[in-house]
Structure 1
Amino acid sequence: MHSAVLLIEFGAIILALGLLGRLAGRLKFSPIPLYLLAGLAFGTGGLLPLGTSEEFVAIGAEIGVILLLLMLGLEYTASDLVSNLKTQYPAGIVDCALNALPGAAAALLMGWGPVAAVVLAGVTWISSSGVIAKVLGDLGRLGNRETPVILSILVLEDLAMAVYLPIITALLAGVGWAAGGLTLAIALGAAGAVLFVAVRYGRIISRFVSSDDPEKLLLVVLGLTILVAGIAQQLQVSAAVGAFLVGIALSGEAAEGAHSLLAPLRDLFAAMFFVFFGLHTDPASIPPVLLPALALAAVTACTKVATGYWAARRAGISVKGRWRAGGALVARGEFSIVIAGLAVTAGIEPRLGPLATAYVLILVVVGPLTARYAEPVAALAGRLSRRQDTGASGTPAPLETVPAAPTETEPTAPGPDDPEAVGSVPVEEPGGSGARRA
């Protein structure tokens, strides 16, 4: 009987997700907000709570995050990763300063104390790699020129978690400096070892994994990824970081074959991740903390857009690509919930959990919208501003009076940062192979 109920509940969830995905496709909209709302409806305090299949969905959600980051890693080579990290580390510093400080300040203003301030700083700092990976795929932007900038910031954040999580765990547990330092050293050593192996021995790993039989290739890649992710998490390193580095290590035919085989699995389990997030949110806990969560979300959405804009500008991306980069970074997700969960378990501040949940729910819904509309809204605002300047002065703006007429020798094709003209980096279908396989 238990098995029958499990199959009924799980089948109903998958069917509902499929119908919501169709609706989102017709509306030209990311399905992520609809998946989250479905989770709220089926979760604790929702319209139709589910209990039997929740544990199964939880495991599927973990696999979903791992597959999302694995597929991101398959888009780029190890040399791409190293060069991007070397050039984009200032963006990581700016990202931390602009987005962690508002959370820390909010906790101190509400009188929650310094430990809660460090926790809330992490909640507001880290973008959701899983949500952003899904959105970039849905929008067909994996091959865009601003995408490596976005991925560099996400990787820097994920790697920073290898330092932050041991620190916050030690603070919450009240352990001494010696125990905390040992945990941090183990985490950093594990992250560095995985990165070294991915960069130095990536081709050997690819030859070991590669197979002409799709079944064997799928089993080996999936097993290796989950194994490395589990070991990384056991060593206090993010499982997402481990999965991403496995994707970085694979190249050539192994990566191309794995990409095509894993894409359907990624879509299935990623949808389960977003549903699971909603399942664990009690709608009744949100209203009391809604106003501070909205204020914090508004501030940190702006700071994330500013971070992406600055990083893309520094990388030489055009104005359109800068706005797209900033809008794509807004969503928060899995890491923010993990950080808040640690604090709730430790009993630091009872209001921190509901606040973090409401905050993440707001931005995980707003994030796909800003990713889609930040650039066109900025362009519209610029046009309106120029019109107002023209009307106030009574004469056309200087840039409008002398348009540069195209000549026969001047191409009028879209610029290199537009999705339809990325040159040697072809735009793929969502989940396509992107820059790495060009």
Structure 2
Amino acid sequence: MHSSAVFLIEFGAIILGLGLLGRLAARLRFSPIPLYLLAGLAFGEGGLLPLGTSEEFVAIGAEIGVILLLLMLGLEYTASDLVSNLRTQYPAGLVDAALNALPGAAMALLLGWGPIAAVVLAGITWISSSGVIAKVLGDLGRIGNRETPVILSILVLEDLSMAVYLPVVTALLAGTGFAAGSVTLAIALGVAGLVLLLAVRFGRHISRFVSTDDPEKLLLVVLGLTLVVAGVAQQLQVSAAVGAFLVGIALSGEVAEGAHHLLAPLRDLFAAVFFVFFGLHTDPASIPPVLLPALALAVVTTLTKIATGYWAARRAGVSAKGRWRAGGTLVARGEFSIVIAGLAVTAGIDSDLGPLATAYVLILVVLGPLTARWTEPLARRLTGRLTGPRTVPGTLGAGGAETPAPDPAAAVRDQDPAGRH
């Protein structure tokens, strides 16, 4: 009875605190994610007041939070949208891997950690946080923007790549032979391909099976189906996030709209729990010794992610503003990076790898919402200062000063076809 009361008090205090932090962030017109993370640091390992009885429940809630974030993203797009974007954006996925994995591998080799650690750190710096980015897109009201499909295509390509990468890393860390590693990889690829095929080919039938006029039944069926698919995918060495995203892709029409409306409050609750959980498992004392290399790596890969998003959005014909927004939004790292680092720590790879990965992710998970919000305005201001105002020779304004010339091309370039900025 006593432990049950303590659990209710602890978990209730977490939810209440998240609500107050969310209200503060709303007043400041700022994403609440960094505040959630700092709250986790304050009450986690080595923090001011570590939690006890509610930790296991918070861990489960964090997993559900990531799953719901990806499900809600999937509900925004149809299977045909997904296939079309993947076909057109796969070069961006290759550029993304090259620009963002190489700095991590180079850092590991410079620190003398060896080739296996280099493969691990390459994955940590390569993969963006789908959970954080999904939350940021919702907070900033950018789900319908023209650059968002480009961002999601890169995220999906990264998540699908994890179906290949994670089994390879697991085999390397375990020291298993080539045959065993190949079998694990083949199973992962087969499951990912099967789920994608079912989502694309039988999406209408799945929507018809799920469809109901009763909101309660719709909520239970959609949530249950998502958790089952995510769990099976994870059990078969495929990301649970990929499974949840593909369930959202498979649902369409009125079912998708109804599920989105019903699941939005649950998503917000469990997504907040996910970010708190991330901070709870970080000991602040382990960060200072590796802060400088983590900071250097964060600076480099922030620039490479911005370059990746800018190039991909430009290739897709998105306006200049949208290109900068795409680049800034992709900066955040999160759940996948921590999973990869956890595998390495469990396998006994260099003891500094875990703290460095934690410090790196913490820097970018806090910086990511800021770059998503401010990269485009900052780039616009800097480019304006570099180029200066354009003038029409001989045209004088008040006081004899030349007036800036209108730039029709810039006006067209800065205006999205859908009328968004």
- Return the TM-score normalized by structure 2: 0.95
C-alpha deviation, 1:417, in angstroms: 6.0
User: Separation in 2 of the partners of 1:375 and 1:321?
Assistant: 8
| 2:356 equivalent in structure 1 | 355
After TM superposition, list the pairs within 5 Å mapping 1:273-312 onto structure 2. Answer: 273-312=274-313
Q: Which amino acid aligns with 2:179?
A: A
CA shift in 2, pair 1:353/1:405, >3 Å: closer
C-alpha deviation, 1:8, in angstroms: 0.1
Q: Conserved in 2, the CA contact under 8 Å of 1:146 and 1:417?
A: no
Q: Conserved in 1, the CA contact under 8 Å of 2:204 and 2:250?
A: yes
In the alignment, structure 1 residue 80 sits paired with structure 2 residue 81: yes
User: Separation in 2 of the partners of 1:400 and 1:319?
Assistant: 24
Q: Which amino acid aligns with 1:403?
A: P
| 2:399 equivalent in structure 1 | none
C-alpha deviation, 1:2, in angstroms: 0.5
Q: Secondary structure at the match of 1:211?
A: coil
User: Separation in 2 of the partners of 1:403 and 1:388?
Assistant: 10
User: Separation in 2 of the partners of 1:388 and 1:219?
Assistant: 58
C-alpha deviation, 1:386, in angstroms: 2.3
User: Separation in 2 of the partners of 1:65 and 1:192?
Assistant: 21
Q: Which amino acid aligns with 2:153?
A: S
Q: Which amino acid aligns with 2:287?
A: I
Q: Which amino acid aligns with 1:222?
A: L
C-alpha deviation, 1:405, in angstroms: 8.0
- Gapped regions of structure 1 (runs ≥ 5): 428-438
User: Separation in 1 of the partners of 2:416 and 2:328?
Assistant: 19
User: Separation in 2 of the partners of 1:299 and 1:308?
Assistant: 15
Q: Secondary structure at the match of 1:52?
A: coil
| 2:416 equivalent in structure 1 | 416
| 1:382 equivalent in structure 2 | 383
User: Separation in 2 of the partners of 1:404 and 1:97?
Assistant: 36
Q: Which amino acid aligns with 1:191?
A: A
After TM superposition, list the pairs within 5 Å mapping 1:217-296 onto structure 2. Answer: 217-296=218-297
CA shift in 2, pair 1:55/1:194, >3 Å: same
User: Separation in 1 of the partners of 2:403 and 2:75?
Assistant: 44
Q: Conserved in 2, the CA contact under 8 Å of 1:99 and 1:303?
A: yes
Q: Deviations over 1:168-216 (max 9, x none)?
A: 0000000000000000000000000000000000000000001100000
Q: Deviations over 1:93-113 (max 9, x none)?
A: 000000000000000000000
CA shift in 2, pair 1:113/1:221, >3 Å: same
User: Separation in 1 of the partners of 2:134 and 2:407?
Assistant: 38
| 2:209 equivalent in structure 1 | 208
CA shift in 2, pair 1:202/1:384, >3 Å: same
| 1:434 equivalent in structure 2 | none
C-alpha deviation, 1:48, in angstroms: 1.0
Percent sequence identity is 81
Q: Secondary structure at the match of 1:332?
A: coil
User: Separation in 1 of the partners of 2:147 and 2:405?
Assistant: 30
| 1:322 equivalent in structure 2 | 323
User: Separation in 2 of the partners of 1:161 and 1:286?
Assistant: 27
CA shift in 2, pair 1:219/1:405, >3 Å: closer
User: Separation in 2 of the partners of 1:209 and 1:184?
Assistant: 32
In the alignment, structure 1 residue 402 sits paired with structure 2 residue 368: no
CA shift in 2, pair 1:417/1:349, >3 Å: farther
Q: Deviations over 1:214-266 (max 9, x none)?
A: 00000000000000000000000000000000000000111111000000000
- Gapped regions of structure 2 (runs ≥ 5): 397-401
User: Separation in 2 of the partners of 1:353 and 1:160?
Assistant: 22
User: Separation in 2 of the partners of 1:345 and 1:269?
Assistant: 27
Q: Conserved in 2, the CA contact under 8 Å of 1:226 and 1:243?
A: yes
C-alpha deviation, 1:61, in angstroms: 0.1
User: Separation in 2 of the partners of 1:282 and 1:221?
Assistant: 37
User: Separation in 2 of the partners of 1:257 and 1:196?
Assistant: 24
| 2:14 equivalent in structure 1 | 13
CA shift in 2, pair 1:113/1:230, >3 Å: same
CA shift in 2, pair 1:417/1:14, >3 Å: farther
| 2:196 equivalent in structure 1 | 195
Q: Conserved in 1, the CA contact under 8 Å of 2:321 and 2:414?
A: no
User: Separation in 2 of the partners of 1:405 and 1:70?
Assistant: 41
User: Separation in 2 of the partners of 1:326 and 1:80?
Assistant: 21
C-alpha deviation, 1:383, in angstroms: 1.5
CA shift in 2, pair 1:269/1:404, >3 Å: closer
User: Separation in 2 of the partners of 1:10 and 1:404?
Assistant: 56
User: Separation in 1 of the partners of 2:268 and 2:274?
Assistant: 10
C-alpha deviation, 1:387, in angstroms: 3.3
Q: Which amino acid aligns with 1:125?
A: W
Q: Which amino acid aligns with 1:137?
A: G
C-alpha deviation, 1:403, in angstroms: 2.2
Q: How many residues align?
A: 411
Q: Secondary structure at the match of 2:388?
A: helix
Q: Deviations over 1:295-353 (max 9, x none)?
A: 00000000000000000000001110000000000000000000000000000111000
| 2:149 equivalent in structure 1 | 148
| 1:165 equivalent in structure 2 | 166
In the alignment, structure 1 residue 334 sits paired with structure 2 residue 335: yes
Q: Conserved in 2, the CA contact under 8 Å of 1:131 and 1:364?
A: yes
Runs of 4+ with >4 A deviation: 411-414
